[in-house]
Amino acid sequence: MNRDDVAWSGYWPAAPTPFGPAGDLDTDALAALMNLYADMEVDGVLVNGSTGEWFSQTDDERRTVAEVAVDAVAGRFPVVIGVSAYTAKQSSELAVHAAATGADGVLATPPPYVHTSADETVQFFRTVSTATALPFMVYNWPRGVSLDLGTIPGLFSRLADLDQVVAIKDSTGDWLSMLDTVETVSDRVRVFGSFLHRRGLAALLELGGDGNIDGGGVGAPYAVPFYRAVAARDAGTAREWVDKYRALSGRLVDPDYSGVYASPIPQLKAVMKLLGQPGGEVREPLLPITDSATLDALRDIVAASGIAAASAHAVGAGRAA
């Protein structure tokens, strides 16, 4: 397989997993979230990724989340299931289940905490990516696993050459390193990275790159039309949309993907709640944002960005279609 075997591109939310106030999995909210994404006309979705709090779920819960998401999306856009875990065996078992649900692909980071060598990393991804016939996305997430694949010479190229690997999600905080990834492997695999800014637009138009997989999808009303404009090579329109997106995300998320006001996932779910979106609650070890000053700051950012009105318009347009 290679990049031409999938049509993965554009704007994908990395879906949060909604939990209830008591920490229970809220499958109704999860299904509603998938329908919201369909209304916003996103290009795909990642489920059980970092934003999905896979680390605080049991394997049975992760399987349930995958089943509910695939069923709710019902083929309207690609669904990739995150199968990150500490061992290749556990990741492979989750991948086999994802294939059985009808998912369109699977994704994994290197094993968290372990800090694998280059050869160990390649072997891990070789094992997990061939556990099924599904297309596979390698996830570089230095903030979460303390290993930046882009710092190891030649590693991304080796991973791109694995039989089932068709894409890389490069979430390094080093933007120039991400561009190196694009330049090195985008002829062979799809590259999702940090493109939702003017520099990213220039890269997409001239160097390459395929899309963003973005925590939560709050910015979808601006990011979806941005990528439509990029596909049409309409740089002027794309700049207008990406400036709107940055006016929101730039005040919430730091370049290293940390949150400006709190941990990224509690911050995301607080913003989703302000927008009336079914993000649900976080689960420990994460804690919800309850500080009134922080909530007021988030409320001001949402109001200034205009995203609430844009979201309502996007949902209305999607349902009318």
| Residue 16 DSSP one-character state | P
DSSP 148: -
- CA dist 277 and 311 (Å) reads 10
Name the nearest CA neighbour of 14 among 41, 33, 39.
33
In the prediction, which pLDDT does 317 show? Answer: 75
What pLDDT sits at residue 99?
98
Measured distance CA(300)–CA(321) in Å, rounded: 32
255/293 Cα distance (integer angstroms):
23
Q: Please provide the size of the chain in residues.
A: 321
Question: Measured between alpha carbons, how far is 52 from 168 in angstroms, rounded to an integer?
Answer: 18
Q: Tell me whether residue 284 is exposed, middle or buried, using C-beta atoms within 10 angstroms of its C-beta: 0 to 12, 13 to 18, 19 or more.
A: exposed
Token readout for 25 is 């999995």
Q: Where are the beta strands (DSSP E) in 141-272?
A: 165-170, 190-192, 211-215
pTM of the shown model: 0.96
The three state secondary structure string of 120-133 is: HHHHHHHHHHCCCC
Q: CA 11, CA 214: separation in Å to the nearest integer? A: 7
Low-confidence residues of the chain: pLDDT under 50: none
State the pLDDT at residue 225.
Answer: 98
The confidence score (pLDDT) of residue 321 equals: 67
Q: What is the pLDDT of residue 318?
A: 73
Map 274-320 to HEC letters: HCCCCCCECCCCCCCCCCHHHHHHHHHHHHHHCHHHHHHHHHHHHHH
Rounded Cα–Cα distance for residues 86 and 125 (Å): 12
> Per-residue pLDDT tens for 68-100?
999 999 999 999 999 999 999 999 999 999 999
Which among 219, 220, 172 is positioned nearest to 192, based on CA atoms? 172
Give the integer Cα–Cα distance in Å for 304 and 19: 28
